[in-house]
Structure 1
Amino acid sequence: MADSPHDPAGPGVNRDDVRGPAGSDRADGAHHRREEPASETAPKEKKQKSFWRELPILLVVALGLSFLLQTFVARVYLIPSESMEPTLHGCPGCTGDRIVVEKIGYHFTDPRPGDVIVFEGPESWSAGYVSTRSDNVIIRGIQEVGSLVGLVPPDENDLVKRVIATGGQTVECCDDQGRVLVDGVPLDEPYITMDFPFTPGVVTCDTEIPSGRCFGPITVPDGHVWVMGDNRSNSADSRYHVGDEHQGAIPLENVIGKARFIVLPPGRWGMIDSPEIQSS
């Protein structure tokens, strides 16, 4: 997403007739010619012509490769909110993390519990989504082309959450320690640092005012995953959408890829942890 320079020097080679020693002609009457060094102007101009002719081809190739990489291999996404703190940093008006999302792996295997994934939100998740595209037809067209090569974000409600349970599993909260259960077994979630209060005997799922952690049980439909934000007290995740047609779960066809590592800002570089959270 040239002009040809003119050579004022002609062929670039000058030829002068010369005499023999002492300015006299040679006995055989032959005249010898001496060639001056070729001008450097012509080779430089040829290089310039070659560069300007090749530049459009290089740009097309670069854009084509970018399109293929962004579509089939990996794409960079910006984290705009706090729902995945502290694993991923983001907030309105601040410099959020930029993450690389790899797309190939899930063509061969399904997401597993513990994976951090990016997905396109189903209809019920996109009720408040506002298009990022301009109303101007020309600008919108440029934005769409930029999106194809990764220069502009796609115009869709893409979200990032962590997989907690997969199709056929039953998920709920909480056990007597406030932990999420999958098929009755508590999860090991070391990445959780912010959650609703849960105090045995004081604030639990059975108290008059239950803990905000409590939900379920929900059986995840086949071909879906149940997702939650690491910032449990500030994440509109599957728990928030249990009344939709998917019971809050995400269809596998909506999954874009797995979040692999943080590339920006430099101080946040690193791999994104996807630990085993269910006991084997």
Structure 2
Amino acid sequence: MSGAPATAATRRRRFLRSPWFHAVLALILVSLVQGFFLKVYSVPSGSMEQTLSVGDRVLVNRTAYAFAEPQRGDVVVFRKPATWGPPPQHGFARTVVGWFGEVTGIGPGNTEYLVKRLVGLPGDTVECCGASGQVMVNGQAIAEPYVFEDLPFDVGSLDCTTAVSSPRCFGPIRLGDDQYLFLGDHRSNSDDSVAACRSASAGSDCAKTASRSDVVGTVGWFLYPFNKWGSDGLNAAIGGSR
């Protein structure tokens, strides 16, 4: 009988030293970190150029809004709402891989995420354009030094009052209690909240918004390419946005 406890202890030590145990433990730790604190995100399109480029790997701070509210000017990753379009269709193998990604936070998931600039907060009225072509929030023009390749606007010949309106024009859009409006920094190449509103025939419900529950977090750190590594390059890219 005296040998039984020793045998059990030996088996427990072997189990704790097993590479399989270490692999599972590492998987659980990575899953917890990506699920609750930091998530690796790959930028899928050029809609945020030149702040973020296609293929950039960034860390998303999932705790950014744990004790604070989203702020205008934040670069935000959020789940693509159903109102933004149908989800991508995947085969069985890709769906299984996506399921693993959803559970562990490692690799691609089945949920589609977007990254955009937060411009409109609940209760805001957002429109374009001001006298010089600026986006207006609650009647005030906002500074947007980050905008890349904006849509054409020419005062007196192609603005929001001319017979042929500038494609930059939209709104006014009044946001509800749980509605957030997002625009891409690459303004002329972004399927964002107001993409369907930039025409004279757009209806009053043309804007696509996201809710607070859709928001995952803010982009906080460049992982790749290595020449952008860290937060300094990202701060330079998004700084002055508010």
Matched, 1:208 2:172: no
Cα deviation, 1:32-76, whole Å, max 9, x if unaligned, reads: xxxxxxxxxxxxxxxxx9599431221121111111011100111
Task: Provide the identity percentage.
Answer: 36
1:151 deviates by: 2.8
3-state SS of the aligned residue for 1:168? coil
Matched, 1:74 2:31: no
Q: TM-score by structure 2 length?
A: 0.83
Which residue identity is paired with 1:240? A
Q: Which residue does the alignment assign to 2:29?
A: 65
Q: Which residue does the alignment assign to 1:135?
A: 92
The alignment yields a C-alpha RMSD, in angstroms, of 2.4
Q: Which residue does the alignment assign to 2:226?
A: 266
Mapped to 2, the partners of 1:277 and 1:260 lie a distance apart of 14
Q: 1:231 aligns with which of 173, 180, 186?
A: 186
The verdict on how the C-alpha distance between 1:160 and 1:143 changes in structure 2, with shifts beyond 3 A counting, is closer
The verdict on how the C-alpha distance between 1:223 and 1:89 changes in structure 2, with shifts beyond 3 A counting, is same
Q: TM-score by structure 1 length?
A: 0.72
Q: Which residue does the alignment assign to 2:145?
A: 190
Higher RCO (C-alpha 8 Å, min separation 6): 2
Cα deviation, 1:103-129, whole Å, max 9, x if unaligned, reads: 0121211210010001111112132x3
Structure 1: runs of 5+ lacking an equivalent: 1-48, 91-95
Matched, 1:153 2:108: yes
Cα deviation, 1:207-263, whole Å, max 9, x if unaligned, reads: 111111100111111122111000110101110256697942211100111111221
Mapped to 2, the partners of 1:109 and 1:168 lie a distance apart of 17
Mapped to 2, the partners of 1:177 and 1:110 lie a distance apart of 31
Which residue identity is paired with 1:207? T
Q: 1:119 aligns with which of 29, 54, 78?
A: 78
Asked whether the 8 Å contact 2:100–2:109 carries over to 1, the reply is: no
1:149 deviates by: 2.5
Which residue identity is paired with 1:67? S
Mapped to 2, the partners of 1:158 and 1:148 lie a distance apart of 16
Which residue identity is paired with 2:164? I
Q: 1:104 aligns with which of 38, 53, 63?
A: 63
3-state SS of the aligned residue for 1:66? helix
Q: Which residue does the alignment assign to 1:253?
A: 213
Asked whether the 8 Å contact 1:113–1:276 carries over to 2, the reply is: no
- Count of aligned positions: 222
Mapped to 1, the partners of 2:32 and 2:53 lie a distance apart of 28
Which residue identity is paired with 2:222? I
Which residue identity is paired with 1:75? K
1:188 deviates by: 0.7
Asked whether the 8 Å contact 2:31–2:106 carries over to 1, the reply is: no
3-state SS of the aligned residue for 1:238? coil
Mapped to 2, the partners of 1:252 and 1:241 lie a distance apart of 22
Mapped to 1, the partners of 2:113 and 2:155 lie a distance apart of 37
Cα deviation, 1:123-178, whole Å, max 9, x if unaligned, reads: 12132x3234x324xx7435422443333211112100000020001110011110
> Quick check: which has more Rg, 1 or 2?
1
The verdict on how the C-alpha distance between 1:67 and 1:168 changes in structure 2, with shifts beyond 3 A counting, is same
Asked whether the 8 Å contact 1:221–1:246 carries over to 2, the reply is: no
1:270 deviates by: 4.2
Structure 2: runs of 5+ lacking an equivalent: 1-12, 198-202
Q: 1:144 aligns with which of 90, 96, 99?
A: 99
The verdict on how the C-alpha distance between 1:143 and 1:169 changes in structure 2, with shifts beyond 3 A counting, is closer
